[in-house]
Structure 1
Amino acid sequence: MRVTLAQKKHEIGEKEKNLKIIEKTAEEEKDTDLLIFPEMFLTGYCLRDRLWYDSEKIPGLSSREISRAAVENETNIICGMPERVKTDGRLRNTALLATSDGELHRYRKTYLPNFGPFQDKRYFQADDDIPVFETPVGKIGMLICYDIFFPELAKTMAQKGVEIIAVISASPSTTRTYFEKVITTRAIETTSYLFYSNLVGREENMYFWGGATAISPKGEIIGKGKYFEEDLVKSEIELDALSNARRNRPVLNDTRKEIMNADRLIS
């Protein structure tokens, strides 16, 4: 199975241009089975009050176009975007998963940073669902940026049988050292493949460092992107290797579910 992390420069507020980048990359990388773009790649991250105008429902115009690109190129595409939710009219920071068989799935960011340069809580509503999706290329879970610092999310996905965890991110250069440490930890403790796709380039006063990373269930770096430059990080993986990794280090099998109750842990 081939996985490609698309470390492409985007244009803030230029949804149509960014959509064309997604479509072109999918066409050029037809040999990949899973193509992963970063957090908010469709619109850019620092949109602030423009977020509402560039947000879309799912399914919507952009998600349908991404789905079409996935089907036509026989691949699966993950991309970050602002989602407008019909039920409550609020926005979510969403990871869209368009599969090669025409399905649309989504994960909505659980933990919203609201410190330093981050103002997610001002614009987005947090979500509580932690899904794992059955896809043509395996069981996929998704996390968005700050989510990675909360191990219960990845652990929950692992308990649901996740095989691949895609982490999409808009991490500026000041946070690089934190992310490079924690993503490897999450791969090891869940014995899952983990793919980290981060924005690259500049938005206002934020410099995104790129550094897309592919990590094996044993914590080995099997693919690494350049810093502050465009790149395509391609990895070949075998899902059969998961059973070997989980047999050698049976952290999932040995997990005591009876002590994972939140009330018990904080009492």
Structure 2
Amino acid sequence: MERRIHAAAVQFNIALGEVETNLERALAALRRVREQGAELAVLPEMWSTGYDYKRLPELARETPRVLEALRDLARELGMVLVGSLPEGQGDRVYNTAYVVDQGKVVDKYRKLHLFSNMGEDRFLAAGDRTLVVPTSVGRLGVAICYDLRFPELFRKLALEGAEILCLSAEWPKPRQDHWRTLLRARAIENQFFVIAANCCGIQGKLDFFGMSLLIAPRGEILGEAGESDTELVAAFDFEEMVNYRTQIRCYQDRRPEVYGTLP
């Protein structure tokens, strides 16, 4: 049976700490991609607030309201939406990607790898589990930004049945080459689709280059953004993925008994 969906990456300049402004931008962009046929859309990392570190506990209290608006829109438009928001729990704040399927939060993923170079580990708590979740558009593996540099995470998602990787990011200059290379590698080596939504514009001392990407399992770029607010939409043909996995049998030819447990 033929399976084909339209997927989107939403890229915009996140206004630091301005929840209402960011929410309005995101909802408007999601409506635009739905008009282009998108059934699945990914938003950037911490898209409602940006990395306003000192105010994160306060801003996290807005997340239930933001999530409610996202659920309402997903229900109205019949979409699956993914994006990360600050999640408060007790005295901790997590960078949490929520998966909303047509109005229902079906699961969430807390960022595993915190970027110590930027002090994330001083202000945020790390998650402790990976996520592959079945949705109305397929099985989604979820990751956030710095996670991209840890290939073992993505192989685990692939082995657990991920068909589409959804990655939210705030990936700044000057590491554009790493971003593009690693995303294509994750798609090719795991033979799944990739949606990577980055932010753009300047936040404090950081300049974000955008360059959100939609990538096919063979590494073909289906859509690539520039450095300004953009929405990308492309078709994902699951038969292509199945055919590629049949032609190049990476999963069957693995030798896990030799690899052992990595230290």
TM tier, smaller: over 0.9
Return the alpha-carbon distance in structure 1 between the equivalents of residues 241 and 113 of structure 2.
28
Amino acid at match of 1:129: R
Return the alpha-carbon distance in structure 2 between the equivalents of residues 193 and 247 of structure 1.
16
Aligned runs of 1:156-195 on 2, under 5 Å? 156-195=156-195
Q: Contact 1:57 / 1:83 at 8 angstroms: preserved in 2?
A: no
Amino acid at match of 2:44: P
Per the alignment, residue 20 of structure 1 pairs with 24
Return the alpha-carbon distance in structure 2 between the equivalents of residues 35 and 7 of structure 1.
11
Question: Alignment partner of 1:29: what SS?
Answer: helix
Per the alignment, residue 34 of structure 1 pairs with 40
RMSD over aligned Cα atoms = 1.6
Q: TM-score, normalised by structure 1?
A: 0.91
One of 71, 94, 99 as aligned partner of 2:75: 71
Return the alpha-carbon distance in structure 2 between the equivalents of residues 106 and 255 of structure 1.
30
Per the alignment, residue 212 of structure 1 pairs with 212
Return the alpha-carbon distance in structure 1 between the equivalents of residues 53 and 39 of structure 2.
34
Return the alpha-carbon distance in structure 1 between the equivalents of residues 33 and 218 of structure 2.
27
**Shift of the alpha carbon at 1:22?**
2.0
Return the alpha-carbon distance in structure 2 between the equivalents of residues 213 and 28 of structure 1.
17
**Shift of the alpha carbon at 1:137?**
0.1
Per the alignment, residue 94 of structure 1 pairs with 96
Return the alpha-carbon distance in structure 1 between the equivalents of residues 62 and 163 of structure 2.
28
Per the alignment, residue 243 of structure 1 pairs with 242
Q: Contact 2:33 / 2:233 at 8 angstroms: preserved in 1?
A: no
Question: Alignment partner of 1:11: what SS?
Answer: coil
Amino acid at match of 1:215: I
**Shift of the alpha carbon at 1:259?**
4.6
Return the alpha-carbon distance in structure 1 between the equivalents of residues 31 and 221 of structure 2.
27
* Percent identical residues: 26
Return the alpha-carbon distance in structure 1 between the equivalents of residues 97 and 252 of structure 2.
29
Per the alignment, residue 252 of structure 1 pairs with 251
Amino acid at match of 1:171: W
Aligned runs of 1:102-121 on 2, under 5 Å? 102-115=104-117, 118-121=118-121
**Shift of the alpha carbon at 1:231?**
1.3
Question: Alignment partner of 2:175: what SS?
Answer: helix
Amino acid at match of 2:238: L
**Shift of the alpha carbon at 1:104?**
3.6
Per the alignment, residue 6 of structure 1 pairs with 10
| Cα deviation digits, residues 70-101 of structure 1 (max 9, x gap) | 11111111122111125xx3111111211115
Return the alpha-carbon distance in structure 2 between the equivalents of residues 14 and 259 of structure 1.
51
**Shift of the alpha carbon at 1:171?**
0.7
Return the alpha-carbon distance in structure 2 between the equivalents of residues 43 and 32 of structure 1.
25
Structure 2 gaps, min length 5? none
Return the alpha-carbon distance in structure 1 between the equivalents of residues 257 and 67 of structure 2.
39
Q: Which has the higher contact order (CA 8 A, sep 6+)?
A: 2
Q: Contact 1:42 / 1:79 at 8 angstroms: preserved in 2?
A: no
Amino acid at match of 2:230: D
Question: Alignment partner of 1:103: what SS?
Answer: strand
Matched, 1:55 2:60: yes
**Shift of the alpha carbon at 1:251?**
1.4
Superposed structure 1 runs of 4+ greater than 6 Å apart: none
- Structure 1 residues 220 and 49 mapped into 2: Cα distance closer, same or farther (>3 Å)? same
The number of residue pairs the alignment matches comes to 257
Comparing 128-137 with 231-240, which one deviates more in the overlay? 231-240
Question: Alignment partner of 1:186: what SS?
Answer: helix
Per the alignment, residue 139 of structure 1 pairs with 139
Q: TM-score, normalised by structure 2?
A: 0.93
Return the alpha-carbon distance in structure 2 between the equivalents of residues 104 and 68 of structure 1.
14
**Shift of the alpha carbon at 1:65?**
1.3
| Cα deviation digits, residues 10-57 of structure 1 (max 9, x gap) | 211111121122222222332211111111111112x01111110148
Return the alpha-carbon distance in structure 1 between the equivalents of residues 216 and 75 of structure 2.
27
Amino acid at match of 2:133: F
Q: Contact 1:26 / 1:75 at 8 angstroms: preserved in 2?
A: no
